Structure 1
Amino acid sequence: MNIVITGASSGIGLTIAKHLAHLGHQVVGTSRYKEGAFENFHLLKLDVTDDASVEKFGDQILERLSQIDVLINNAGYVIAGPIENITIEEAKQQLDTNYFGLVRVTQQFLPHFRANNIGKIINICSLAGQIGMPFQAHYSASKYAIEGFTEALRLELAPFNIQVCNINPGDFRTNITANRKTTSQIDPAYLKQYEHFIKIYATEENNGADPQIIADLISSLLYKKKLNVRYTVGKLSQTSSVFFKRFFGEQIFERVLKMMWKIG
Structure 2
Amino acid sequence: MAVKKQVALVTGASSGIGEAAALALADEGFEVVGTSRSGTGSAVGVSFVPLDVGDASSVQAAVQQVIERHGRIDVLVNNAGIGSVGAVEERSVAEEERVFDINVFGLIRMTKAVLPHMRAQGGGRIINLSSVLGLIPNPYMASYVASKHAVEGYTESLDHEVREFGVRALIVEPAYTKTSFDANAVPPEVSLPLYAKRRTTFDEVMAVAMQGGDAPEVVADVIVAAATDRKPRLRYTAGATARRISGQRRFVPAGVFDKAIRKLNKLPA
Does the Cα contact within 8 Å between 1:36 and 1:44 map onto a contact in 2? no
Query: Whole-Å Cα distance in 2 between the matches of residues 97 and 260 of structure 1?
Result: 28
**TM-score with structure 2 length normalisation?**
0.93
Q: Give 1:121-140 correspondences, 5 Å limit.
A: 121-140=126-145
Instruction: Note the aligned Cα RMSD (angstroms).
Output: 1.5
CA–CA separation in structure 2 for the residues paired with 1:193 and 1:218: 35
Please give the alpha-carbon distance, in whole angstroms, between the structure 2 residues aligned to 1:195 and 1:36.
34
* Match in the other structure for 2:116: 111
Secondary structure of 2:9 counterpart: strand
Aligned position for 2:23? 18
The number of equivalent residue pairs is 263
Letter of the 2:259 partner, please give it: R
Q: 1:141-172: CA deviations, max 9, x gaps? A: 11000000011001000110111210000011
1:171 and 1:234 in contact (8 A); partners too: no
| Structure-2 change in CA distance of 1:99 and 1:186 (3 Å) | same
Change (3 A) 1:225 1:23: closer
Separation in 2 of the partners of 1:37 and 1:217?
22
1:33-44 equivalences in 2 (<5 Å): 33-35=38-40, 38-44=43-49
Q: How does 1:68-87 map to 2 (within 5 A)?
A: 68-87=73-92
- The residue identity in structure 2 corresponding to 1:92 is E
CA shift for structure 1 position 24: 2.8
Kept after mapping to 1: 8 A contact 2:13/2:41: no
Q: Which runs of 4+ in 1 moved over 4 A?
A: none
Give the direction of change, closer, same or farther, for the CA distance of 1:36–1:13 in structure 2 (3 Å limit).
closer
| Residue 242 (str. 1) matches residue 235 (str. 2) | no
Taking structure 1 as the reference length, the TM-score comes to 0.95
Equivalent positions of 1:166-245 (< 5 A) are 166-236=171-241, 238-245=242-249
Q: Distance in 2 between matches of 1:145 and 1:2?
A: 27
Aligned position for 2:3: none
1:9-33 CA-to-partner distances (Å, cap 9, x unmatched) read 0110001111222333210011112
Gaps of 5+ in 2: 1-5
Post-superposition CA distance 1:105-144 (Å, at most 9, x none): 0000111011111111111110111111111110001100
Aligned-pair identity (%): 36
Of 218-227 and 93-102, the range deviating more from structure 2: 218-227
Does the residue aligned with 2:89 lie in a helix, a strand or coil?
A: coil
Task: Check whether the contact 1:48–1:97 (CA below 8 A) recurs between aligned residues.
Answer: yes
Structure 1 residues without counterparts, runs of 5 or longer: none
Pick closer, same or farther for the CA change 1:263–1:57 going to 2, 3 Å.
same
Q: 1:259 is matched with which residue?
A: 263
